[in-house]
């Protein structure tokens, strides 16, 4: 059995309908005075959290919407927002 992801429009669907868009890392740093190293780190150096993280997903086979959700990378399962679980 595969995992599910909850699309804000279509609801809970099979993981295979989605494309992973990587972890949510906020906006890119300001381009002005940005060094190659700082730019490279912004693009390449992900947190790769072992645990709960906020991620971008794209509903490729459905409504075509990009959205964020929370997922536990240790179990692969989608989880509620940390604020909601505490």
Partner 1 sequence: MDIRRISPIKFNINPTQVEKRDGWNVALSYGPHSGPFLIDLSHRPKWDLQNSNLPRFRPFGLIIPENPGQCTFSEGILINRMNRTQCQIWHLAGKKPRAPRSSSYTEITDGQCLLAVTGPSALDVMERITNLDLASPALSPPCLIQGPVLHIPCQVVLFSRPTAQTTILFSFSRGYGQTMADAILHSGKDLGLRPGGEEDLDFLGALNIDG
Q: Interface residues with partner 1 (CB under 8 A)?
A: 9-10, 13-14, 17, 59-65
Smallest separation, CB 12 to partner 1 (Å): 10
Q: Phi and psi dihedrals of 77, rounded to 5?
A: -80, 145
Smallest separation, CB 49 to partner 1 (Å): 29
Residue number with CB closer to partner 1 (9 or 43): 9
Smallest separation, CB 84 to partner 1 (Å): 23
Residue number with CB closer to partner 1 (9 or 80): 9
Residue number with CB closer to partner 1 (67 or 70): 67
Q: Tell me the torsion sign for CA atoms 46, 48, 53, 59.
A: positive
Interatomic CA distance for residues 5 and 8, integer angstroms: 10
Give the CA-trace dihedral at 10, 75, 71, 42, to 10 degrees: -130
């Amino acid at each position: 059995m595969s995992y599910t992801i909850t699309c804000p429009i279509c609801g809970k669907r099979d993981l295979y309908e989605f494309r992973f868009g990587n972890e949510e890392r906020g906006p890119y740093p300001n381009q002005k005075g940005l060094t190659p190293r700082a730019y490279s780190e912004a693009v390449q150096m992900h947190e790769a959290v072992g645990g709960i993280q906020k991620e971008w997903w794209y509903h490729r086979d459905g409504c075509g919407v990009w959205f964020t959700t929370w997922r536990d990378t240790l179990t692969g399962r989608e989880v509620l927002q940390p604020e909601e679980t505490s």
